[in-house]
Structure 1
Amino acid sequence: MNDELKNLEPFFGHALEAMYVHGGPALQKITSIAFLKEFVRRFWDSFIQDKNRPIAYTQIEEDDFDSGEVIDQINTYMNIAHPLVYSLKMYFLRDLRQRDFSIDDVRKFCEAQKRILPWLGTLNWEDIKENRLTFNPYCNLPEYNELEKGFMIFYGVGNKAPFQEVIQNIKKKTTLTAKLSLFGLFFVRLHAIRASREWRHPETQSAEFVTKELAGMNNFPVLFKTITTKILSNRQPLLQINDSRINNTDLILKSVIAHIIAFHASVEPNSSQLAMYLHRLQDCQNLFIITCTSDSESVPIAQVSANDQAGYIGEPVNQTLTHSVRSLPPTSYRILHLIVHALIGASAPQPALAFLRKNNQNATDAERYCMDHIRSDWAILKNLLNCSDEVNYRLFLLFVSPFDIK
């Protein structure tokens, strides 16, 4: 008996309802999403026979578990017209991709299951993109949907006019959310495709067009345009995706790094010390770095001695769960430490290396050094929060985003 599915099944409906109820607490939705992803995994574990045959329960059925009832319950809820229910449908397919189903395998599998899971036969494959990202954190921004709508018309049929019109409106009124929307669009709809396959003509054509448009957006920060252009050409070191063999953890982690870079590249350099690390790293050389160790005993930030060593103080990757500096809780420390190294690593390579080497002669490659720390912080955060990469991604954005996530 598959006890995992048996134990999860009674809560499926409650979790789905909690996810789409209006005004529900954000943490409750995040918890429900995590539950439903685990449910999907256990469901396929128990029902998939092979890629080409209709599903059937593969375990020994017991009296207190009815596999047919599970199927009926899923079919009932999948008939609800709601964006988050649609997202759950997409996750059923994403889980298949994680089982080494190709896109063609998934199409054929859905065709084979139409009598048992009718909603699989209603999916519009034109809307299912070859994109391994589990969700889009930018789609709640006010400018994003219009941007994406215009872009996808250009991407699909080559009509530039709708996309150019949205770009012109952004030029007239440039907001923080507009910058983030544009960055997010390029990362999600163009760059992330590299994790599934090589670019084809539509991606190359789109990238050439938007690169020219970016060059003419004089009210956008130069740094923003430089970083975005490097991402489009796959030359931003921390964000490079060189082939489709990249694992899901690295892809999600690059999405986190991209989100951090997008926000701090979109704000003014003097808006925070973190923004300074990205915009004017060398000006921070002799400033106190909050995530660095002190040459004195651990003390609250307000009591830091004037004798503390200024500037970035290098230390080896530390994988101790309780490791922190001064009075920062370990979770806060890891989040902040990850952000600091993402911003340093996103700076120009030579200035970043000079910055790191001032107090750490062991640093010889800024990108590798920062990624080692970022990966360590990410792994520790998952351990501290006891969650998967995907849930950690959502929680991380909840902690650091200036806007709501979806």
Structure 2
Amino acid sequence: MNGLSPQRFWLGFLPFLALLQGCKMPLLQEYISERPKSFGFGSSIRVLVETRVGADSLDLKLYKSIVNEEVREFQRYNPNIKIYARFVPFDKLEKEVGFQHSRGLGPDLILLTNNNALPLLRKKFIKDISLNNGELRSVRKTLLPSFRHNGKLLGIPVFIYPQLACYDRSRLNKPPESLDELIRLSQSGHSFGIEKNIDTLQWLYSGLGYNLFEPKKQPSSLVFLRWLKLANLQPTISFESDPLLLRSGLISGELSWITCSGSWLPSLKLRMGKNFGAVMLPNMPAGKANPFLKPRTWFFGSQSSMQQHELAKRFALFTVNVVQQRNTALKLATVVPVNPGISLPLKTNKTLQLVNLAAGQGKLLTLGQIDWLYAMDPVFIPYLDLVLSGEQSPEAIAPSLDNLLENGAIK
């Protein structure tokens, strides 16, 4: 019909039919009463939820229960809207989205655990979101710039997890408060595990004088590389690329202390009981560490109809309203809500107090910075491995690493 939809055609034709029926317009009344049924196909949305890196079976069970509970609560107040949620491992999510997109059935919502959304945007799997002033108040104003790209809002954050240190109380009475103390404790026989990837190691960079993404000339990374070499020479300090090895090492008693994410706390506490402890990451010679924060964020599929897009936005905003944010924060006690209207019992809940303190010292990256980190990780880690293996000295590697970081990260 040259672009004229059937609905618009009949709306234009119904007045003429009404004249033929004595202006009683029964057909118009019938159309209006049937109109919601004709749009029934749009009353459902498809959601893909990325499962976390380093999650074990208990983590996954808890994570799924939280998301499914939010779906049930939303559908309780919106019984005519159906939400079909599917959980996908982090390393398979992009492939799954691409497959659904190729069939014209791309998801309406995607919940990312790593916030690495720009690869999805480049492939046109997601699109930006528009929120009015009232809707924007559901998220703390200071957080919003980290979820914009080229001036457009791409996602709605739900929660933020800080990076912490987890330890075994039965093996380590007092966890290290500084890097020097960590080395000293390792020399006395305590075992430490440090996750080896570029975003986790930022807590070392920040305290050893080399801050990524700072708009100024960076000092040499030599101090950082020398500390890595010193730590690696200790037989009780290990660097692991697989976070599951750190978790299993702490649970089994092989490790006394590990770097960890706030998202690990519930399952580690269940597995370790009263022996489990969590603290801030150690202070550094240059001051307090500023590790990267890890948000959970809703992104919006590009193939949604207008109605499905609006329904997806309604559900995403539902998960960040005051009631839902408070309930989930109290249930988990390991997340930082994004809604500014939340008041939590920080004085009486030590875990909530810890994660809020850690989040306050952490750094929330922009989408562009996260994109750079994930692209740089395969290049960055081999430089570290040359030092950790003893193949090259810190003095030999530092200039090459400096050049890599200064030309890529400072933007």
Q: TM-score, normalised by structure 2?
A: 0.25
Greater Cα radius of gyration, structure 1 or 2: 2
Is the helix fraction higher in 1 or 2?
1
Higher RCO, Cα 8 Å, sep 6+: 2
Normalized per residue, which structure has more strand? 2
TM-score (ref. length: structure 1): 0.25
